[in-house]
C-alpha cells in the first residue's frame, strides 16, 4: 500500500490535521517547510513538532499515544529526594538557555543527532523571542544538567534534557514541575514515551485526549513571572 505524506507549502505555515498522521512510523505527518519561528509556533500549537536527522528532509510528527507529565501529580522518587538533600544541586530558569540547548545536542549518542546546528539555531531564535525556555541544574558554579522546551500557555512542550552528573536532569524536572504547578501550569508534553521517561512517571494520552487538553491549555494564562530568569527553591 502506498504511503502519502503532505509536503508543506513554503509560503504557508498551515499543517494537515494530526489525525492524518501515519500509524507507522507512529505520528509522521508531513515534510518540508522550514524552521521559522512562525511555522514552529504554529506546529506546537497544533500538537506537531520537527524531528529529523542531518541527512534527512525536514520531517514533522504528531505521535499517538503522547507521553506527558502532570506537574500537579508528579512525585519524585524517595531516593531522589535523599540524593538532593545530600548534594544540594541548585536549579534555575532561563539563566543559560543556549548552553542547555548545546549540551542537549552534544550529549546525544551517534544515533540521536537530531539536534543539529539548524535545530539549535531555530530554538535559540525562539528563546530570544521569549517562547523557548530552559531549566538549569548546577553544582556550585558548574552547569551539570537541564532541559529546554516551549511554553504554550499552561502547557510546556519539553524538547530535550541532559545530565552530566548523577540525577541532574531528574532534579531539574522535579523542580520545574513544582515551579510550573505553582504558576498554574497543567501539562508537560514530552512527545514519545521511552524507558527513561516512564521511570520518571510519564504517562501516555491518546491523541484525541492530548489534543483536547492542548486546545484548552495553550491559550490559558500562565502565572506572572513563571519564566523570568530566577532560581527555583522548594517550600
CATH of the domain at 40: 3.30.70.3550
> How many Å apart are CA 134 and CA 92, to the nearest integer?
8
Instruction: Show pLDDT as tens, one digit a residue, over the chain (235 residues).
Output: 446 789 999 999 999 999 999 999 999 999 999 999 999 999 999 999 999 987 889 999 999 999 999 999 999 999 999 999 999 999 999 999 999 999 999 876 444 567 889 999 999 999 999 999 999 999 999 999 999 999 999 999 999 999 999 999 999 999 999 999 999 999 999 999 999 899 899 999 999 999 999 999 999 999 999 999 999 998 7
User: Is 183 inside a domain boundary?
Assistant: yes
User: Is 39 inside a domain boundary?
Assistant: yes
**DSSP 8-state assignment for residue 10:** T
User: Is 57 inside a domain boundary?
Assistant: yes
- Give the CA distances from residue 61 to residues 10, 47, 88, 116, 191, in Å, rounded to whole numbers and listed in that order: 17, 8, 38, 17, 9
CATH of the domain at 140: 3.40.630.70
73 and 182 share one domain: yes
User: Is 132 inside a domain boundary?
Assistant: yes
User: Is 89 inside a domain boundary?
Assistant: yes
Domain boundary among 21, 38, 63: 63
Residue with cell string 530554538: 123
For 25, the domain range is: 6-63
> How many Å apart are CA 130 and CA 160, to the nearest integer?
18
29 and 41 share one domain: yes
pLDDT (0 to 100) of residue 1: 42
173 and 148 share one domain: yes
Judged by DSSP in three states, 160 sits in: strand
Domain boundary among 63, 78, 96: 63
22 and 58 share one domain: yes
129 and 113 share one domain: yes
User: Is 1 inside a domain boundary?
Assistant: no
CB 190 within 8 A of CB 158: yes
pLDDT (0 to 100) of residue 214: 98
CB 171 within 8 A of CB 121: no
User: Is 112 inside a domain boundary?
Assistant: yes
Q: In the numeric block, which cell numbers belong to residue 190?
A: 514530552
49 and 155 share one domain: no
> How many Å apart are CA 68 and CA 197, to the nearest integer?
9
Q: What is the pTM of this model?
A: 0.94
36 and 72 share one domain: no
Domain count, the chain: 2
> How many Å apart are CA 14 and CA 150, to the nearest integer?
19
Which runs of consecutive H residues, i.e. helices, occur in the chain? Answer: 37-45, 78-87, 97-106, 117-128, 168-182, 195-200, 207-217
User: Is 48 inside a domain boundary?
Assistant: yes
Amino acid at each position: 500500500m502506498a504511503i502519502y505524506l503532505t509536503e508543506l507549502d513554503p509560503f504557508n505555515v498551515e499543517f494537515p490535521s494530526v489525525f492524518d498522521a501515519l500509524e507507522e512510523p507512529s505520528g509522521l505527518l508531513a515534510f518540508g517547510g522550514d524552521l521559522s519561528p512562525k511555522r514552529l509556533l504554529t506546529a506546537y500549537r497544533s500538537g506537531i513538532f520537527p524531528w529529523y536527522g542531518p541527512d534527512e528532509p525536514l520531517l514533522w510528527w504528531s505521535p499517538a499515544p503522547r507521553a506527558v507529565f502532570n506537574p500537579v501529580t508528579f512525585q519524585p522518587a524517595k531516593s531522589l529526594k535523599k540524593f538532593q538533600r545530600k548534594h544540594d544541586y541548585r536549579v534555575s530558569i532561563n539563566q543559560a538557555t543556549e548552553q542547555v540547548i548545546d549540551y542537549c545536542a552534544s550529549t546525544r549518542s551517534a544515533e540521536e543527532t537530531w539536534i543539529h546546528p539548524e535545530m539549535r539555531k531555530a530554538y535559540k531564535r525562539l528563546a530570544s523571542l521569549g517562547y523557548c525556555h530552559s531549566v538549569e541544574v548546577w553544582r556550585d558554579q558548574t552547569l551539570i544538567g537541564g532541559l529546554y522546551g516551549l511554553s504554550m500557555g499552561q502547557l510546556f512542550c519539553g524538547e530535550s534534557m541532559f545530565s552530566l552528573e548523577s540525577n541532574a536532569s531528574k532534579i531539574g524536572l522535579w523542580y520545574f514541575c513544582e515551579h510550573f504547578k505553582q504558576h498554574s501550569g497543567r501539562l508537560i508534553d514530552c512527545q514519545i514515551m521511552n524507558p527513561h521517561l516512564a521511570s520518571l512517571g510519564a504517562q501516555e494520552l491518546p491523541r484525541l485526549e492530548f489534543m483536547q487538553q492542548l486546545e484548552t491549555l495553550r491559550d490559558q494564562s500562565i502565572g506572572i513571572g513563571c519564566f523570568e530568569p530566577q532560581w527555583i527553591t522548594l517550600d
